[in-house]
Amino acid sequence: MKKPVKVEDIIRRKKQKQYDRLQEEDTAMLQKFELTNILSENEAFLREVFKGCTDIVIRPFTILKFKKALAVYVEGITDTKLLDEEVLRQLMDPQNPVDYPADISIVDFVEEQVLSVGKIKSISTMDEAVKSILEGSTVLLVDGEVNVLSLGISGGERRSISEPVTEVVIRGPREGFTEDINTNISLLRRRLRTPKLKMESFLIGEISRTKVTIAYLQGIAIDKVVQEVRNRVERIKIDSVMESSYIEELIEDAPFSPFPTVQNTERPDVIAANLLEGKIAIFCDNTPFALSVPVVFWGQLHSNEDYYERFTMSTFLRGIRLIFTVIALIAPSIYVAVTTFHQQMIPSKLLMSIIDNREPTPFPAVIEALIMEITFEALREAGIRLPKPVGQAVSIVGALVIGQAAVEAGLISAPMVIVVSITGIASFTIPRYNFAYAIRVLRFPLIFLAGSFGLYGVTLGVVGILTHLVNLRSFGIPYFSPVAPLNIKGLKDVLVRAPIWSMNVRPNLTTDENDVRIPRGQKPKPGSKK
């Protein structure tokens, strides 16, 4: 039976066609033009293409003292010092005696014998030439030659490597990614000096043409997962990529879930460690945040510093983090549920002091909790957005207004302030910021449930969240693994951080043949020879 065609589908298809046509028109003009051996024609075309682009520099000069040539580059993304001293001087300097044999083309001669530039490429189409100009290369056109030279001397001002602001460690490397994808990849390469570290680059964004690179360790990452990542990245059709979050949103498994199924980090050591666990990294140009997939629930509660501190301390800290994650999620709703439905559950003396404190307050506990939580979130948001010197003032006013004045005026009860502040602190113990977002947001429906159904509602909500979590998958890996489905070996790195010498195998998401991470029997003991 033939399916009836819906109106929406027709409209959607039409829009898709429109979009495709626009893209085609753009490239068609470039593709139609063929490079000629007459420099003035090429120049005229380039001037037409870059009309109104004041940052494009088109510099005519005489190459090797006898041919007219043209250097085209974008000011600011080309290393002009290099261009001036190593390229133009070589080609123009009358003191530089070069014997030009007439039997080869001038472009080939320059490429092979004159220029001491590492990344050099001969290009035969105008389309490619324009693209490489925009990527930061300098393009050399020579009169009488159809081919042009693209010199990979991109450069310009970039932020230097600095300590990441979002992931601060006490012990561990202080390098963070920058906005330059090449720098970022070099930071990764420094940590994994093996030919097995493979990379694949894509240009994504019809307009922005952003470089996106996926990286993985061959033999450790599962090929199927690599293929899946490759497919999902290739599938992306978008006009621009401003940040890696664009990529994240377009490849993640559960777009509607509050929980992130893609991890982001600013730290090269985290990416390197992830690759060694069989994960795949996705770099994106112009952002210091690299992505890594797949990711599991427990990874969100781990900090890279867990592996840099001694394992006893890390295990303790992981316990603290888990407890406070639970507190961040359910503390206000438990308080609301218990004080409005299950007063029996509170120890008598505690109840008496809660009663004393709640006596003057006008709102029901649910409303009180919502007011406080929303105010707290607003304060936090204000603290982030406001300029640094003002931010401090906001936090002082906030602390005074909520913490003291509201309690003294009898609008808000003191126990509620305590609960909300503990919740606030608890949400900061979660190392992954986007995971903490999920916890912060889910708090509100739970408060609603607590206010209308009591502990029963809270239980229902938490069971719902857990059901969702065990249902989630990140690139084929169950989100709650290795706890559900259970993998006993994997538990060494979930709640406890086992000593490094006892974590003999990689987590279960790697391929079998490369399972061993550390051979057995490396527990340090005195006098051992090995």
Partner 1 sequence: MLKINKKYAKLLVTGNIVLCLMLLTGCWDRTEINDLALITASSYDMAPGGKLQYSVQILLPSGGSKGGGQGGSGSQEKKSYVVETAIGIDPGDAEKNIQKKFPRRLFRGHRRVIIFGEELARNGLEIMLDSIGRDPQNRLRTNVIVAKGEKGIDLLKSDYPIERIPTEAMREMTVLGVGIDANIHDLLIASSSEGVQGIALAFEKGEGEEGFKTAGLALFKDLKLAGYIDSEKTEGFLWIKGKQKKGIIASEVPGYDGIVRVNIKSQEARIVPEMKQNKPVINIKILGSGSIYGNNTKLDLSVPDNIKIVQKAINERIRKQVENCIVSAQKEVGSDIFGFGLAFSQFKPSQWKKLEKYWGYIFPELDVYLSVDFRIKTSGMAGPPLYLKEDEIKKK
**Using CB under 8 A, which of 78, 413, 474, 510 touches partner 1?**
413
HEC string of 310-372 equals CHHHHHHHHHHHHHHHHHHHHHHHHHHHHHHCCHHHCCHHHHHHHHHHHCCCCCCHHHHHHHH
Instruction: Say how many C-beta atoms besides its own lie within 10 A of residue 507's C-beta.
Output: 24
Least distance in Å: CB of 356 to partner 1?
Answer: 5
Site size toward partner 1 (CB under 8 A) is 31
Least distance in Å: CB of 3 to partner 1?
Answer: 15
Least distance in Å: CB of 14 to partner 1?
Answer: 17
Residues between 338 and 377 with contacts to partner 1, criterion CB under 8 A: 339-341, 343-344, 348, 351-352, 354-361, 364-366
Taking Cα atoms as reference points, which of 131, 271, 135 lies closest to residue 214?
271
Return the number of the residue (60 or 464) whose C-beta is nearest partner 1.
464
Residues between 257 and 296 with contacts to partner 1, criterion CB under 8 A: none
485 interacts with partner 1 by CB under 8 A? no
Least distance in Å: CB of 348 to partner 1?
Answer: 5
407 interacts with partner 1 by CB under 8 A? yes
Least distance in Å: CB of 335 to partner 1?
Answer: 11
CB 145 within 8 Å of CB 37: yes
**Who's near 326: CB < 8 A, 6+ residues apart?**
none
Stretch that binds partner 1, among 28-36, 153-161, 333-341, 504-512 (CB under 8 A): 333-341
Torsion of CA 38, 43, 49, 55, to 10 degrees: 160
181 interacts with partner 1 by CB under 8 A? no
414 interacts with partner 1 by CB under 8 A? yes
Backbone angles phi, psi at 202, to 5 degrees: -130, 150
Return the number of the residue (95 or 344) whose C-beta is nearest partner 1.
344
Least distance in Å: CB of 224 to partner 1?
Answer: 31
Here the tokens at position 107 are 């472009």
Least distance in Å: CB of 332 to partner 1?
Answer: 15
Return the number of the residue (12 or 158) whose C-beta is nearest partner 1.
12
Return the number of the residue (360 or 485) whose C-beta is nearest partner 1.
360
Least distance in Å: CB of 442 to partner 1?
Answer: 15
- Cα(429)–Cα(81) distance, rounded to whole angstroms? 47
Taking Cα atoms as reference points, which of 349, 312, 326 lies closest to residue 498?
312
**Using CB under 8 A, which of 410, 476, 485, 521 touches partner 1?**
410
Task: Please report how the helices 348-358 and 414-428 are oriented relative to each other, as an axis angle in degrees rounded to 10.
Answer: 110
Stretch that binds partner 1, among 79-87, 203-211, 443-451, 463-471 (CB under 8 A): 443-451
**Who's near 383: CB < 8 A, 6+ residues apart?**
391, 394, 395, 398
Per-residue x/- track, 446-465, partner 1 (CB under 8 A): --xx-xxxx-----------
**C-alpha to C-alpha distances, 232 to 65, 197, 227, 247, nearest whole angstrom:** 52, 20, 9, 9
CA 288 and chain centroid, separation: 7
Taking Cα atoms as reference points, which of 353, 395, 355, 378 lies closest to residue 440?
378
Chain residues binding partner 1 by CB under 8 A are: 8, 339-341, 343-344, 348, 351-352, 354-361, 364-366, 407-408, 410, 413-414, 448-449, 451-454
